[in-house]
Structure 1
Amino acid sequence: MKKSDFHFELPPELIAQAPLAERSASRLLVVPPGEGAFEDRGIADLPELLQPGDLLVFNDTRVIPARVFGHKASGGRVEILIERLLPGNEARAQLGASKPSRPGTRIILEGGGEAEVLGREGAFYLLRFDVDGALDAWLERAGQLPLPPYIRRQPGAGDSARYQTVFARNTGAVAAPTAGLHFDEALLQRLRARGVGFGHVTLHVGAGTFQPMRVDDIHAHLMHSEWLDVGADLVAQVQATRAAGGRVIAVGTTVVRALESAMPEGELQPFAGETRIFIYPGYRIRSVDALVTNFHLPESTLLMLVSAFSGRERILAAYEHAVRTRYRFFSYGDAMLLYPSAGQADTAPLITGD
């Protein structure tokens, strides 16, 4: 299977550059199972599309203001994009500079303090920050929200709230779990009144989610690592929902990746740790019965995941419909409600390291 099998043409003007005035004003493309016709609805219609006893599972990760700027002693400008916070005010990060940075290089930070390059870990640098206080608290004061590269503007004052979900609580992501951005308190209240339950996992979305696949044979792709936590309470919620005949509905591909990573023996279990799971057609997603997700980049691993869930041809047809009817794409764009295809295979995912 080739990367090019997941290509589609997207007019640049359909890439949403800013959020709508209201979170729940986004459109929702419903892709029913089988050959049913696509439905053009809205996120606000979710309470009538779901059933009492269904369980929505959200990713409660919180985005770090992970982009900071500085300069070397030589004067060369450096952009730091933190990938992972580590103990001892250390971090794994990408560095944008005119030349590679050697161990011992010190970066004078615009927000005050310095960062020292300790070494390399693959595509990332290991840095130690000498700043006022704990690194996470310093970033809240001095860091910049890392909007995705396809948003062609600088972050504004409104992004600090709108690029976080309303239920974000566990700090550690460098990108938002964007399907959750559509939910506001009013919509959550209507879903509760409908009898829909809520559960949470944590998966700290990494910068690798935006990195393009550099090989055409998808089996040769090296998947990035992300940290997740599927707790015992969520496992109990899922079991109770299924026992009562309800459906488990993931809000976002990050939730699917978390739940599938917590099913090593085919049954959901509590799990906290790293995952490099790569889900693509040929793998049967067992953890969820439906999926709310945004539209994804052409030839991306996330497009491959939703194709595994609903079928590649079905997904590409839905994307063609979305382009034709002018849906908004990517992080600040519109959403889909997907159901599984009947022809999902039952094979293991590809798990690769970087």
Structure 2
Amino acid sequence: MKTSDFDFELPEELIAQAPLAERDASRLLVLPRNGGAPTHASFRDLPGWLRPGDLLVLNDAKVIPARLRGAKEASGGKVELLLCDPLASLGDRAVWRCMGGSSKPLRPGAWLRFEAAGGMLRAEIVAVGEGGFVDVAFDEAPDALLDRVEELGELPLPPYMKRAPEASDRDRYQTIYARHRGAVAAPTAGLHFTDEVFSALRERGVERTAVTLHVGPGTFLPVRADSVEEHRMHAERYEISQDAVDAIARTREAGGRVIAVGTTALRTLESAAEETGRIRAGAGVSSLFVTPGFRFRVVDGLLTNFHLPRSTLVMLVAALAGRERLLAAYTEAVERRYRFYSYGDAMLVS
């Protein structure tokens, strides 16, 4: 497959730069998985498009304000870090792999200082890798570091949002059910949910459970290879509880459908699935790249946002819906002025 096979015209003004006033006021395009024309609805109509006995699988990862801006202690030169993945601690010091940037190259042994109204944080570069990645040891224990980052860090809005983060983004670029800290980006399909929608889903007889996948910066990386098969996904940490495994098993036994809320929930489930479709509880790392031809073992449907051209996310949805049908639906969405990506509208493929 060629990356260009997943291209389409997307006017820049359709990439949502801010959320709507109400989370569940988004539009919903419903695309039947097994054929048929798309239907245009409101996200508040979602319960009516699901069946009693269906199971929604959410990603309850919580976005951290992972962007730190500071300076080198020796020279005062400006430096910026984006926390990506936690590594093994050095004694009682938390170590993270970060994307680093500064006016001059970062080198092992350099000490950094980050200061804001919330206080001060020191860190040491312990290793420099390829592609701008550095391993950084902080003068805080792992749990304490996340508390400090909450005070000192900046929310890393996606690069296609052409603005600085605002105070309101701390709430709106987070699902209402976010629990486990560590994600760099939000599992954005879940941003539409409200307590009222969840109440209507319960009345409809739709169940829900959650898994955790800490979304990394790789979700924003473009596919630069001409051939889809040449692209490599960044690894992301996930965890699946026994409760989630049991909920999926009960749904299967009762004849219900498993609907992933977001591409991250889908990749988590399919990464942990055995050939039989049975899910393994526990922690793991996923670098699964889902493209057309993929055999789904767990997921029957997907609730997702509208994605950018030539992205791995479009390829994943095309694997479930069919490439031509998906691109036709996207063309219709553009014509009807749907809002795209993180703060945009939603699509249900089921």
TM-score (norm 2): 0.94
1:286 Cα offset (Å): 2.2
1:160-198 residue CA offsets vs partner (Å, 9 max, x unmatched): 111111110011100000000000111111111111101
What's 1:22 paired with? 22
Q: Distance in 2 between matches of 1:35 and 1:308?
A: 14
1:98 matches 2:107: no
1:137 matches 2:138: no
- Preserved contact between residue 33 and residue 320 of structure 2 (Cα < 8 Å): no
- Structure 1 residues 323-332 or 29-38, which shifts more? 29-38
- Structure 1 residues 115-124 or 191-200, which shifts more? 115-124
- Preserved contact between residue 214 and residue 236 of structure 2 (Cα < 8 Å): yes
Moved over 4 A (4+): none
1:149 matches 2:153: no
SS at match of 1:101: coil
1:98 Cα offset (Å): 2.6
What's 1:77 paired with? 78
What's 1:324 paired with? 335
What's 1:43 paired with? 43
Q: Distance in 2 between matches of 1:230 and 1:131?
A: 28
Q: Distance in 1 between matches of 2:245 and 2:301?
A: 17
- Counterpart residue identity of residue 57, structure 1: V
- Preserved contact between residue 121 and residue 148 of structure 2 (Cα < 8 Å): no
- Given candidates 149, 159, 171, the residue that maps to 1:161 is 171
- Preserved contact between residue 128 and residue 135 of structure 2 (Cα < 8 Å): yes
- Counterpart residue identity of residue 123, structure 2: A
1:89-238 paired onto structure 2 within 5 Å:
89-111=94-116, 112-123=120-131, 124-130=133-139, 134-238=144-248
- Counterpart residue identity of residue 224, structure 2: R
1:15-49 residue CA offsets vs partner (Å, 9 max, x unmatched): 10111111110000111134411111011001111
In the alignment of these two chains, the number of paired residues is 339
SS at match of 1:41: strand
1:212-291 paired onto structure 2 within 5 Å:
212-267=222-277, 268-291=279-302
- Preserved contact between residue 284 and residue 309 of structure 1 (Cα < 8 Å): no
Structure 1 residues not aligned, in runs of 5+: 340-354
1:220 Cα offset (Å): 1.4
What's 2:5 paired with? 5
Percent identical: 55
- Counterpart residue identity of residue 174, structure 1: V
- Preserved contact between residue 251 and residue 258 of structure 2 (Cα < 8 Å): yes
TM-score (norm 1): 0.92
SS at match of 1:198: strand
SS at match of 1:235: helix
Taking only aligned residues, the RMSD between alpha carbons, in angstroms, comes to 1.4
- Counterpart residue identity of residue 230, structure 2: A
- Preserved contact between residue 106 and residue 128 of structure 2 (Cα < 8 Å): no
